[in-house]
Amino acid sequence: MYSYEFKPQAIRDLKKLPKDIQIRIIKKLDYFVSAEDPLVFADHLINYDLGSYRFRVGDYRIIFDVVDEVLIILTLGHRREIYR
């Protein structure tokens, strides 16, 4: 079974968001990792400098890498700002 953990930068990014968006993102992450293969919901990134994969949660993006069966959340933010 998969799990996830946040890098310090991702925690800072999450705390900057409104409380309702924070709850929505955490619930969605819980849903993704409860699936048999959470990478089904993910898209590969072209620019690997940011990370390997991304999840889409409304207008927000969650950038992450996978190590064994742990999703390492690298950063997250609004779609217009996250790729800059």
Q: What is the CATH number of the domain that holds 24?
A: 3.30.2310.20
Residue 7: per-residue pLDDT: 97
pTM of the model: 0.93
Give the domain extent around 77. 3-82
Structure tokens at 59: 């207008």
**DSSP 3-state of 50:** coil
pLDDT at 84 over 90: no
Amino acid letter for position 20? D
Q: What would the mean pLDDT of 4-25 be, rounded to a whole number?
A: 97
Structure tokens at 18: 């409104």
pLDDT at 21 over 90: yes
Cβ density class 32-69: b for 16+ within 10 Å, e for less: bbeeeebeeebeebeeeebbebbbebeebbbbbbbeee
- Number of folded domains in the chain? 1
Residue 18: per-residue pLDDT: 96
